[in-house]
Amino acid sequence: MVSQSKEVPRTFLLAMLASLRKVFFSIAIASAVISVLALTGSLFMLQVYDRVIPGHSVSTLVGIGIIAATLFVFQGILELLRSMLLARVGVALDERMNEKVFGSLMLQHQLALVPGDGMQSVRDLDKVRSFLSGAGPIALFDLPWIPLYLGLCFLFHFWIGLTATCGAIVLVSLAVLAEILSQRPAAEAAKDLTARLAFAEGVRRNWEAVVAMGFVGRMTDRWTDINGAYMANQLVAANVIGTLTTTSRILRLMLQSAVLAVGAILVIQQEATGGIMIASSILVSRALAPVELAIGHWKGFVAARQSWLRLVKLVDILPAEIRSVSLPAPRSKLTVESLSVAPPGNRELVLRNISFGVSAGTILGVIGPSASGKSSLARAITGIWPASSGSIRLDQAALSQWDPSKLGRNVGYLPQDVSLFDGSIADNISRFDEQPSSESVVAAAKSAGVYDMIVKLPQGFDTLIGESGSRLSAGQRQRIALARALYGEPFLVVLDEPNSNLDTEGDAALTQALLGVRARGGIGVVIAHRPSALAAAETLLVIVEGRLQAFGPKETIIAEPVRQPLKQGAVRLKIGGEETGS
């Protein structure tokens, strides 16, 4: 499975680039024709000064004027088509990558993929698409044709060609210098931008606490520092590119004048014609325009290249989701064998050598002191966090053998930090199913004991709850999230502190929901500090400092601390109105 997961993303990227190869080839051909047609202006000037004016021939002027106008029209059409093709390349790239990028938003914390606010991959894709749709790639396609123009300058005269070549070398050196000088500040600015946006998003989510506790000023000061660091690097990058862009433009104008001066000397010495003098000046300007354009867009090129490299790395890290056989829905057992878990991106284990098994129709209560690893266990058995060692099995099949989307239909999960999505209550309960069954939505709401609360709302199940469920109370959000966990009657239901925001009525509804899971032959795992959440549990598991301290019937576990204290760090456990866990 490991080798396959690395091979498939690379195959995906190669296939994606291969599918765009014909488009890039078409753009390259169009650029070649455009580069030839761009000689129209110079050749027109050459004919006007060397034939029309000496011969006083208006008919010749009209003829070459019609030809030049036709060629200019064709050039304009080809440039428009080239721009449209580049825009289509950006759209095609987005169409092929957007599912991978969006999928990374769900997997980034699991695989420790993306720092900051987690939206870097989305911004990277936008940045690459925007660059491909702009003028930057046009300069890159035109750069290889500079030797054609320089060769024509040599055909006009050796000294004209030499002057143009020296100018081209200077401008190309400026482009290389732009690459060297802008790379580091651009990378630092991108890193600071990620931190800047992450901080802003954190303040936006927690604005109530910031305002209520009066540390708006301190947050503002910190924002000023973060924003200042970003702007400093942004300013350095902008100054570098701006300086080189201005220098290249001035040098190109000077070079154009220098070629004109060389041509004038050659005309005086009767080694060239006036037409050659004017045409070579225009030709040099056109030859070096792509270099100036490339330098002007170098900042965007560097940013797009860094974004592309991050996207390539992202696709390479994302696991393959290929399953040759779809496993049947689990029905009988959850088994945890020698499980050790570390947070993604961290080597320090938070769970060590945990082993237990529960059968269908069992409600397991997980208790222990704060920071003992209870929530980590919930994340592991739902597949959110990978196991560092050991295994988690449903009906003898390891979680890695399941297709994630199909496994998800058999798992209900209520995280400790409840978060709903902008949409209706029905959308959230049904997990945004495209064609949800009304009966299933109502059944989940009734199982969670939240049906009466929902139908009392003005729009009932169609009530829009706002971003993160902001229009609901904390207790309402938790009960709707419980209904979401119960939607579709999943086999494994994992609830992490499910009653932290519930009142007495909510506690009773939670107990009934767990009894319903047990009655239909499912498995419930309840992590709790408050004893009311454990009323339906007949089996308890005690975790202390990441290790399993006790596992067995609730009555036995409750009585055990009285007869024989647990290891150091454990606490006395009492159910029925008194404290548990810590």
DSSP label at residue 52: I
How far is the C-alpha of 316 from the C-alpha of 303, rounded, in Å? 20
Domains of the chain and CATH, by start: 2-317 (1.20.1560.10), 331-410+490-503+522-582 (3.40.50.300), 419-489 (3.40.50.300)
Q: For 392-447, write each residue's pLDDT tens digit.
A: 999 888 888 887 778 888 898 988 888 788 888 898 888 888 888 889 999 999 98
- Taking residues 241-260, report their average pLDDT: 80
Distance, CA of 266 to CA of 281 (rounded, Å): 13
Token pair for 151: 């060769």
For residue 321, with 0-12 CB atoms within 10 Å meaning exposed, 13-18 middle and 19 or more buried, which class applies? exposed
Looking at residue 209, its pLDDT comes to 67
Q: What is the mean pLDDT of residues 374-385?
A: 88
Using an 8 Å Cβ cutoff, are 481 and 445 in contact? no
Percent of the chain with pLDDT over 90: 10
pLDDT number for residue 578: 41
In contact, 298 and 171? CB cutoff 8 Å: no
Query: Strand locations in 213-310, DSSP E?
Result: none
What confidence score (pLDDT) does residue 207 get? 66
Stretch 72-82: mean pLDDT: 89
Its pTM stands at 0.64
CA 556, 560, 566, 571 torsion-angle sign = positive
Tallying the residues shown for the chain, one arrives at 582
Residue 259 · residue 281 · CB < 8 Å: yes
Q: C-alpha distances in angstroms, 414 versus 155, 350, 479, 546?
A: 77, 20, 10, 21
Question: Using alpha carbons only, how large is the chain's radius of gyration in Å?
Answer: 34
**What's the CA gap between 485 and 378, in Å, rounded?**
13
**199-230: b or e for each residue (b if 16 or more CB lie within 10 Å)?**
beeebeeeeeebeeeeeeeebeeeeeebbebb
Binning pLDDT at 50, 70 and 90, where does residue 185 land?
A: confident
pLDDT for the residue 364: 92
Q: Is the pLDDT of residue 576 over 50?
A: no
Residue 323 CB contacts under 8 Å (≥ 6 apart), including other chains:
401, 402, 403
464 vs 320, residue with greater confidence: 464
Residue 455 phi/psi, 5-degree rounding, is -70, -15
Rounded Cα distance between 559 and 574, Å, is: 8
Calculate mean pLDDT across residues 217-245. Answer: 81
For the chain, the distance separating the N- and C-terminal CA atoms, rounded to the nearest angstrom, is 41
Instruction: State the alpha helices, DSSP H only, in 430-521.
Output: 438-447, 451-455, 474-486, 504-519
Q: Residue 118 region, left (φ>0) first, then alpha (ψ -120 to 50), else beta?
A: left
Element (H, E) at 543: strand 539-544
Q: What average pLDDT score do residues 175-184 get?
A: 74
- Compute the CA torsion angle 53, 59, 63, 68 (nearest 10 deg): 40
Instruction: Count CA within 13 A, CB hemisphere, residue 88.
Output: 14
pLDDT in tens, 139-157: 778 888 888 888 888 888 8
Q: Is the backbone of residue 56 left (phi > 0), alpha (psi -120 to 50) or beta? A: left
Q: Cα–Cα distance between 296 and 318 in angstroms, integer?
A: 35
Pair of tokens at residue 197:
């946006």
Q: Which amino acid is at 16?
A: M
Beta 523-527 vs 362-367: how paired, if at all?
Answer: parallel
Mean pLDDT, range 24-29, rounded to an integer: 85
Give pLDDT, residue 77: 92
Please check the confidence at residue 38 and state whether its pLDDT lies above 70. yes
Least confident of 163-177, 297-311, 381-395, 446-460: 297-311
Strands 492-496 and 351-359: unpaired
Mean pLDDT of the chain: 79
| 272-288 pLDDT per residue, tens | 888 888 888 888 877 77
Poorest-pLDDT segment among 55-69, 74-88, 192-206, 532-546:
192-206
